[in-house]
Chain A
Amino acid sequence: MEAATHMLRTGRRGPLFEVQMALRDLRTSMGRIDLAWSLAWHDVSSRYRGSILGPFWITLSMGLMVMGIGVVYANLFGIALKDFLPLVALGIVFFGAISGTITEGCDTFVHAAGMLSQTSLPMFTFVWRTIFRNVINLGHHLVIVVAVLIYYGYWRTANAPAATIGLIFLLLNAGWISMLIGLASARFRDIPQIVTSVMQFAIFVTPVFWPVNRLLHHQWVLDINPFYHMLEAVRAPLMGAQVAPHTYLFLAGMAAVGWAATFAIFANIRRRIVHYL
């Protein structure tokens, strides 16, 4: 813990200085990234303490949901289960990761109030904690993904490297949205309500439960939907399809602009966050 042996806090101001301090916060959190992992693991294991299946309850409940929706909607749409169930399974799992990271972002700083107001722990640690917690949950859900891909034979054409790149893009974007919402929620207590409503809306306008080709008109709705691109970058390669180049472009641009804006806001309000809580 060499880094902790010298602490300097000053009343100095100025945009450059604030950015430096924000960068230092980021660096310190990277140096103690294992702490964020421990906290995330603790969160997951404490949620399922005392249950027999433990974290695999997440997998089981998600699996049931996938089965239910998959079978019912396949009939409604008149699509073969083989074509439809994998689509829904992957859609629910990866949209769940997006929506979990974002909605739990609301609590990132609010729940850390105790620690932030009496230790010098970096604030980014708690951002990573939220993201890692959702990565761990996603890890459990991957059981469903793998099972479905194998059962329906998609594993032969699945492009795992492309899907991994897509997942990185997904997490990069879900990450900044999560942090931005965390900062906003610390200041304004109505943000969590807004976020919940928006994500509920998003799950229906994003092709999670319905195939893209069913949307005959208004394709532009998908093109401007960031969740569609985030989902598609992971789901398409796993189902043996190509990811449109403009999806990568969209995701890369969104990640760059999003992180820059979030970081700028963080640098600007960093010294006040602890007082919001």
Chain B
Amino acid sequence: MKAAPVSISCKGLTLRFPVYGVDAKSLKKSLAKITVGGRLGSSHGTTEVTAISNLSLELKAGDRLGLIGHNGSGKTTLLRALSGAYEPDEGEIEVRGRIAPLLDLNLGIDPSASGYENIRLRGRIAGLSAREVDARMDEIAAFTGLGPFLAVPVKTYSAGMQARLAFAAATSVEADVLLMDEWIAVGDAEFQQLAHKRLLKLVERAGILVLASHDLDLLRLYCNKVMRMEGGVASPVTDIKKLDELMNA
């Protein structure tokens, strides 16, 4: 399983988001623009926001990178790009290994379906076959601690229960590259302990972890390297021990 080397490589990565305002999404206005002949902005008449500019990053097995930065600094965008959802505008991203993007806990959760069905759905989306999901079902079900509630529609769950379910389902995948946005603190104190243990195990098993968080203690706990992002520009990757220097820089 670990035959292929696990790595992440970004070279000169630049991501620009076209902003399609609510206004621009009307066909009438688009047609009107064509008939008048004037086009605003640079391309296709839309303004663009540069979310990440010229980012280069090399990670290999064993690297656990923490991403830090203000809201809107490009952390989540980078994670999504690493998950393969965004196409770079310039540069390239290359990831070797199975990617598990744990960015949104509620991805693919259907509130009207039961807990079991949601675990199955989530597993299928993550790339497991129906048989693989069934093989893991007992373990996942046990981890949620929801017992008989798993047969009940998720919409009847409390927020904490839903988080338990989503967390258990999302972390059931075996992955080489783990991408996580800040959502580790879920559920009650008891569940947080369990979740923490499970994550540590997952991180150990995963070749590479990239974790975006504002919580410095959390980053110190999980990561061995750190990168600070500001306005889409990334600092060089530094050792986690120099986190304070990086924050004051």
Q: Which residues of A contact B (CB under 8 A)?
A: 1, 4-12, 32, 34-35, 38-39, 42, 46, 49, 114-121, 187-191, 194, 270-272, 274-276
Contacts and interface: CB of A to CB of B under 8 A. Distances in A.
Contacts of A272: 18
Contacts, number: 115
B27 A191 contact: yes
Contacts of B113: 42, 46, 49
A121 B80 contact: no
A118 B107 CA distance: 9
A52 B153 CA distance: 17
| Residue from A38, A116, A191, A275 with most neighbouring chain B CB atoms (10 Å) | A275
B130 interface: yes
Interface string B101-120: 10110011010110001000
B112 A9 contact: no
Interface size classification for chain B: 35 or more
Nearest to B44: A272
A270 B117 CA distance: 31
Given A188-B25, A189-B25, A9 B84 contact: yes
A187 B97 CA distance: 33
Interface in B212-227: none
Given A11-B92, A188-B25, A275 B17 contact: yes
Contacts of A117: 80, 85-86
B204 interface: no
B166 interface: no
B96 A190 contact: no
B107 A114 contact: yes
Interface stretch (B121-129, B189-197, B240-248): B121-129
A5 B110 contact: no
Closest 5 CB pairs of A and B: A120-B84, A271-B87, A10-B92, A11-B90, A11-B88
B125 A119 contact: yes
Contact of B104 (A49, A114, A189, A190): A114
Contacts of A116: 85
B180 to A, nearest CB: 11
Contacts of A39: 121, 124
Interface of B: 4, 14, 17-18, 20, 25-28, 30, 80-81, 83-99, 101, 103-104, 107-108, 110, 112-113, 117, 121, 124-125, 127, 129-130, 153, 176
B125 A275 contact: no
Contacts of B86: 9, 117, 274
B91 A10 contact: yes
A256 B124 CA distance: 32
Contacts of A10: 88, 91-93
A4 B110 CA distance: 25
Contacts of A4: 98-99, 127
Contact of A49 (B93, B112, B124): B112
Contact of A6 (B30, B96, B101, B108): B96
Given A114-B104, A190-B27, A274-B87, 19 more contacts: A1-B98, A5-B96, A6-B95, A7-B96, A8-B94, A8-B95, A9-B94, A10-B88, A11-B14, A11-B90, A35-B124, A39-B121, A115-B107, A117-B85, A117-B86, A118-B80, A118-B101, A188-B26, A275-B17
Contact of B99 (A7, A38, A115, A194): A7
A118 B14 CA distance: 18
Contacts of B127: 1, 4, 32
Contacts of A188: 25-27, 30
Contact of B20 (A190, A191, A276): A276
Contacts of A118: 80, 83, 85, 101, 103-104, 107
A191 B97 CA distance: 40
A38 B107 contact: no
Question: By CB atoms of chain B within 10 A, which of A117, A189, A191, A270 has the most?
Answer: A117
14 contacts: A1-B127, A6-B4, A9-B81, A9-B88, A9-B94, A10-B93, A11-B91, A34-B130, A38-B130, A115-B125, A119-B85, A187-B25, A274-B85, A275-B18
Contacts of A46: 110, 112-113
Contacts of A42: 110, 113, 117, 121
Given A4-B127, A49-B112, A119 B88 contact: no
B129 to A, nearest CB: 8
A49 B88 CA distance: 41
Contacts of A12: 92
